[in-house]
Chains A and B, each alone.
Chain A
């Protein structure tokens, strides 16, 4: 079956513009994660969705960042009024479940965002 897919693969935007990044998780996976990897930095958690539960937004760096997950499947990460420090690779991952149990996460190829 298909893995996690993300679009676009690359996005160049001007400072101040809004961007939307899309993630299609593996079918049947109830948990979905967004991460960010800045140049020369490690991976950083942004947000987590599990089923119909309220998302864990504790990793979002500012209120310019938001995410939604429609119908328990596709997710969109939106960055408003982009800044140069938002330039990074944004990675999406999904897993079979979540909650109290831990599950292996499957990562998408990422979206490379460049803010000029």
Chain B
């Protein structure tokens, strides 16, 4: 069993829809990252959080430390949001090693 699980693996949405991608982890962590990878491979860091909620434009990330769960929300989705979204966790302050989920492939249709 992977230490970091994402759901769904694939998601197709219509433009304008509200999207939620989930990430669950089975170990204690010191931080969680959400990354975006567009076709062609470029990876962009969207959020890094260790508690609560962060918002950037149409993107919102939340984390519940007790439940070992994080969600990434996209409001008013657009075709340019189509990408792979990856959750990654830093296990402890003793290591900077990140453990990655397998990603969620999002396709937003016009």
Contacts and interface: CB of A to CB of B under 8 A. Distances in A.
Interface in B74-103: 86, 88, 90, 93, 95-103
Q: Is the interface of B mostly helix, strand, loop or mixed?
A: strand
Q: Is the interface of A mostly helix, strand, loop or mixed?
A: strand
- B-side interface size class: 20 to 34
Nearest to A58: B97
Interface stretch (A12-20, A77-85, A98-106): A98-106
A23 to B, nearest CB: 14
- A-side interface size class: 20 to 34
Contacts of A68: none
Given A59-B97, A102-B90, 15 more contacts: A33-B96, A43-B86, A43-B88, A45-B99, A58-B95, A98-B96, A101-B93, A104-B33, A105-B33, A105-B45, A107-B35, A107-B45, A109-B41, A109-B42, A110-B41
